[in-house]
Chains A and B, each alone.
Chain A
Amino acid sequence: MTTTDPYAASSRETTEGTVYTVTGGDWDEMIDQTAGDERIVINMGPQHPSTHGVLRLVLELQGEVVTDARLVIGYLHTGIEKNCEYRTWTQGVTFVTRADYLAPLFNETAYCLSTERLLGIDVPDRAATIRVLLMEINRIGSHLVALATGGMELGALTGMTNGFREREEVLHLLEFLTGLRMNHAFIRPGGVVQDLPEGHEERIRSFIKVMRERLPGFHKLLTGNRIWRQRLEGVGYLPLDGCLALGVTGPILRSAGLAWDLREVEPYLGYEHYDFEVPTDTAADSFARYVLRVEEMSQSLRIIEQALDRLEPGPVMVEDAKIAWPAKLSIGADGMGNSLDHVRKIMGQSMESLIHHFKLVTEGFKVPPGQAYVPIESPRGELGAHLVSDGGTRPLRVHLRDPSFVNLQAAPAMSEGGMVSDVIAALASLDPVMGGCDR
């Protein structure tokens, strides 16, 4: 390397005087000179449109290259686990549903399956099928948000608008089926809170039809799109050994080549009776995860169809009156509430029913002491509910092993050594939901 001043302009003498020729500096030399002690630490978030919720990134940069990435979480910590310890087992559902707010029905299911293992009960077939049905509808909605926000963060705004438009279909359907768009608290220990409303089959079948028409739109819009591919291919690379060491599950693990889907390998709620595929890839990059999510939505549609066919008439809550919620809901003039029949019975006819209702609603049911850990496959990976009971009517400990929390640990491994813009792509492919991560 020469020691000449790169900014020095060459000069020549003319009759008018000295003329200097100013040219651009030698960028290679400039970078060589500045690298090493030119370290920039930038802070992204927690309120930043490209960090997928209230997540904070502390990036150490050399030029445009990320040399060190640290994640700061906890901005959405709401003490859900602590609160559950002060509520009955049934009330706990309304708390856990708010953890991973894009997959509320999965939180409820994991919590309820764990409670039911502690109780030693099995839910009726119809309740199990309804749970599967609702979870798969929810999975589509969650993956659509993953695509939509991922698209927004990369500047593919039509991907965002299309994704949220399709998700609106999901939310409308869930509102029709459960009464609420999000935070349903529909799945309860012992079954589900009430049967599906009349006309559910037509609504779900028309939903399947609409989604079958619209899902290929993502392939048309994004899969072959050169910019989309260039932004995602080879970005956020995390091979299989890295996934296992960092505890990463879900589409990220499957994009590294391992067909690990708890619905398939540890079936629950009768998933072994459904015919579906677990799509995998070996590229282990952000693009593979995007393709897997689109494919998983199609598989979910298949499961929904089969669940509809399997739906036989029957009870949706366990028969045991010591556990089953006493009231039945119905739609009155002022919206959803206790059914008038039930109110008439407990207020006018049966003192015992009133006592039973009061005891179960205020005190709750007792759960034999012990602990249980039940994992299920949420859209983001292994969602486990570790519940501990001391024999009382309230949980002694509720812990959700949330996949967002664990998967986020892989973000530095995916993004260090890459460009700043690739951090965004890698994070979007992780699809973290901070409500679940921070709980």
Chain B
Amino acid sequence: MSGDEKDGPVTPGTGAGGASGPSGASNASSAGAAAFGPQEIARRDVSGAVAGRAREGMFGIAGSGDTSGFGGLRLPAYAPAPAERPYGGWFDEVADEATAALADDGGADFDTCVHQVTVDRGEMTWYVDREHLVRLARTLRDDPALRFEFCSGVSGVDYGEGVPQQLHVVVQLLSMTYRRRLRLEIALELDDAHCPSLVEVFPTADWHERETWDMFGIVFDGHPSLTRILMPDDWNGHPQLKSYPLGGIPVEYHDAEIPPPDQRRAYT
């Protein structure tokens, strides 16, 4: 296992793929901490996916020589680095097969469907264009050399306000035939949170998508009955959004008022 590379692609164990243990620790945060002063907090202009918000606080700076950590934390938003060829292990094989399979049926090619390929900690993520999601998923499922016949789950992530395309839909695919795992990610704007439904390709996505709608407010177009599943039918708001408070009721205890957890002092 390659554990020391910082920016290069991580080489997964051959064959075991996503099932292999942790590999390739990413050190983007600690490397960036010292280099960015308060004025550089302005977001990096990234064309690819952004997965995190810029962070600031009183404590947490590292590498400045001041061991107390006080002095202001200024971290730019994290953006997963695009992987470069060769990805290593079976990752190249899957990407090649998908490229060939997509070219065969005459639709959009691989680079149009997949904006970015990221290999991190032995897991491969494809950042997918939502227009081509269903076709790509069908190809991944049906192509004899790919055979991602099992969808482990569909879920969402909210990276918080201020992050471009802050909502992400995360699809975990599994190939039981080849014992490989692949993650598809679709980045969405908060005010255009629409994603095509995968139910016609993977029926198991039904409840997963209902949960993602319920928790994040992401609309899965083409879903047979997109209704709330965990919260009551008449609930307002989508609880897993970062803008939705946790609890929100101050606790009174011995005449002292304790703020709800999301308003307490935070060491980010």
Contacts and interface: CB of A to CB of B under 8 A. Distances in A.
Contacts of B22: 116-122, 372
B207 A119 contact: no
A202 to B, nearest CB: 33
Interface string B198-215: 000011101110010001
B44 to A, nearest CB: 13
Given A119-B25, A373-B181, A401-B155, A247 B231 contact: no
A340 B96 CA distance: 60
A399 B230 CA distance: 14
A87 B246 CA distance: 12
Contacts of A306: none
Contacts of B18: 266, 373
Interface string B176-193: 100101010000000000
- Which of A77, A116, A366, A390 is the most central at the interface, judged by chain B CB atoms within 10 Å of its CB? A390
B202 A368 contact: no
Interface in B129-161: 149-153, 155, 157-160
A199 B128 CA distance: 54
Nearest to B185: A371
Given A74-B231, A77-B230, A117-B21, A375 B179 contact: no
Contacts of A439: 230
A371 B125 CA distance: 10
Interface in A68-95: 73-74, 77, 79, 81-83, 85-87
B207 A405 contact: yes
| B interface, size bucket | 35 or more
Interface string A109-148: 0000000111111100000000000000000000000000
Contacts of A364: 267
A287 interface: no
A368 B149 contact: no
A386 interface: yes
B240 A81 contact: yes
Given A368-B30, A393-B268, A86 B246 contact: yes
B239 A82 contact: yes
Contact of A266 (B151, B179, B206): B179
Contact of A246 (B158, B204, B229): B204
Interface in A384-398: 384, 386, 388, 390-394, 396-397
Contacts of B26: 120, 368-370
B149 A244 contact: yes
Interface residues of A, number: 59
A384 B172 contact: yes
B78 A401 contact: no
Contacts of B16: 266
Given A247-B152, A373-B181, A391 B19 contact: no
Contact of B202 (A247, A248, A362, A369): A247
A333 interface: no
A120 B239 contact: no
A391 B55 contact: yes
A393 B267 contact: yes
A391 B75 contact: yes
A392 B155 CA distance: 21
Contacts of A121: 22
From A373, A375, A384, A409, residue with most partner B Cβ within 10 Å: A373
Contacts of B59: 363
Interface in B45-75: 51-53, 55, 59-60, 75
Contact of B120 (A260, A267, A370): A370
Nearest to B266: A394
Given A119-B25, A401-B152, A247 B121 contact: no
Nearest to A118: B121
Contact of A384 (B3, B153, B246): B153
A81 B26 CA distance: 24
Contacts of A60: none
Interface in B73-118: 75, 78, 80
A384 B80 CA distance: 22
Interface string B158-176: 1110000000001010001
A119 to B, nearest CB: 7
A222 B262 CA distance: 52
Given A117-B22, A120-B121, A391-B55, A396 B207 contact: no
Contacts of A362: 267
Contacts of B25: 119-120, 368
A406 B267 contact: no
A82 B179 CA distance: 31
A281 interface: no
Nearest to B54: A390
B29 A368 contact: yes
A260 B157 contact: no
A323 B151 CA distance: 34
A245 interface: yes
Given A73-B230, A119-B22, A247 B151 contact: yes
Contact of B19 (A73, A260, A268, A394): A268
Nearest to B203: A245
Interface of B: 3, 16, 18-19, 21-30, 51-53, 55, 59-60, 75, 78, 80, 120-123, 125, 149-153, 155, 157-160, 170, 172, 176, 179, 181, 183, 202-204, 206-208, 211, 215, 228-232, 239-240, 246, 261-262, 266-268
24 contacts: A73-B230, A82-B240, A85-B246, A120-B22, A122-B22, A245-B204, A247-B202, A262-B19, A266-B179, A364-B267, A366-B60, A368-B26, A368-B29, A371-B125, A371-B157, A373-B152, A373-B172, A382-B152, A386-B172, A390-B55, A391-B78, A392-B55, A393-B267, A396-B160
